[in-house]
Amino acid sequence: MAFTQEQILHLAKLAGLAPTDDLFALGKDLDSIVAFIDTLGSIDDARLDRVRSSAQLPLPPREDTVGAREASADELLACSPQKVVQRHIAIDAIFSGS
């Protein structure tokens, strides 16, 4: 299936993307993705029922048990591979505002 420019613009609008020349170049990628999905539809899935049925069996509930004791905050901080500063785990800056 080949996507038309009108269909690509409609998909871009649904996805909140601005229409650009790069967007139309992605039409070939869309075509190959849809072709791959069509290929998946032609695969013999007779053996999947056996897998699907075993996955639908309910898991037995696990009993709630109370542990011997809870770890203290200091013990948990001692497990961290990161540096601990004032009882907090120090991490690298996530976002630089500059």
Residue 4, classified by CB atoms within 10 Å of its CB into exposed (0-12), middle (13-18) or buried (19+), is exposed
pTM, 2 dp: 0.41
pLDDT average, residue stretch 64-74: 79
pLDDT of residue 70: 79
CA 25 – CA 72 distance, rounded (Å):
56
Collect all residues with Cβ–Cβ distance below 8 Å to 78 and sequence separation of at least 6: 84
Is residue 9 assigned to a domain?
yes
- Per the structure, the count of domains in the chain is 1
Q: Name the residue range of residue 45's domain.
A: 5-55
| 58 φ, ψ (degrees, to nearest 5) | -70, 145
Is residue 94 assigned to a domain?
no
Confidence tier at 59 by pLDDT (50, 70, 90): confident
Is residue 68 assigned to a domain?
no
Whether residue 12 contacts residue 19, with contact meaning beta carbons closer than 8 Å, is answered with yes
Confidence tier at 55 by pLDDT (50, 70, 90): low
Is residue 60 assigned to a domain?
no
